Structure 1
Amino acid sequence: MTHRFTLRVYYEDTDLAGIVYYANYLKFIERARSEWIRTLGVDQKAMKEETGTVFAVRRVEADYLSPARFDDELEVQTSTEAVTGARIILRQDVLRDGEVLFTAHVTIVAIAETGHPARLPANIRRQMH
């Protein structure tokens, strides 16, 4: 299953050349992940309150293929590549009119309030398959 999230590039997202500043792609894919998790019915705030478990980005491998520009409408596609007991690996692509501009493999881990690794709750693992 692929989740789709659309956004518009604002002036604040660009650099002096009028293209999206590279670090902002990480913000775009973060927003898309948050919305994806929400559509799965996962309440991250409740998860933290009930189990003390939160998600954290462990690793990002990104490729910048082509620039996005001011006022572009972008789509972020998020799909699950693997789910283990404590880790989720996602592929996230940022597209404009069907052209992939940016792609990333993102490893998300579950951590306890102590900062140590934690297992993903079983109901969440099932929802992500």
Structure 2
Amino acid sequence: MSHRFALRVYYEDTDLAGIVYYANYLKFIERARSEWVRGLGVDQARLRAESGIVFAVRRVEADYLRPAVFDDLLEVETRLVETGGARILLDQEVRRGEERLFAARVVLVCLAADGRAARLPAEVRQKLVQAA
């Protein structure tokens, strides 16, 4: 199962050439991941406050396929690929209609308050598994 997040390209998202600045795609997929986790019923602020657990990006492999421009309506699709003890692997795509503009493979890790890897809490793992 995948999650979809719609967004519009604003002037501030573009560069001098009038296309979306490359780093903004990372912001777009971050927003989509945040909404995906929220939609699963995971309250990240509560998780941090109660257990010190946070999610961090460990790795991103990104492919910039086609440019988006001002006022485009885009959709970010997030798909869970796999979960490990402390790791979540996702595929994310940014589309304009049926046209793929950007694709990324993202590795998230679960961290404890001291910055070390921590196992995914059981309730979070269960929500991820149910959504897959």
- After superposition, the C-alpha distances for 1:32-71 in whole angstroms (9 at most, x for unaligned) are 0000000000000000011110000000000000000000
Q: Are 1:28 and 2:24 an aligned pair?
A: no
Shift, 1:98, TM fit = 1.1
Per the normalisation by structure 1, the TM-score is 0.99
Tell me which residue corresponds to 1:15.
Answer: 15
Shift, 1:97, TM fit:
1.0
Give the equivalent residue in structure 2 for 1:120: 120
1:85 to partner: Cα distance: 1.3
Query: What does residue range 82-93 of structure 1 map to in structure 2 within 5 Å?
Result: 82-93=82-93
1:61 equivalent to 2:61? Answer yes
Corresponding residue for residue 52 of structure 2: 52
Instruction: Give the TM-score normalised by structure 2.
Output: 0.96
Q: Give the 3-state SS of the residue equivalent to 2:50 in structure 1.
A: helix
Other-structure match for 2:98: 98
Match of 1:80 in 2: 80
Tell me the C-alpha RMSD between the 2 structures.
Answer: 0.5
CA distance in 1, matches of 2:112, 2:2: 28
Find runs of 4+ consecutive structure 1 residues off by over 3 angstroms.
Answer: none
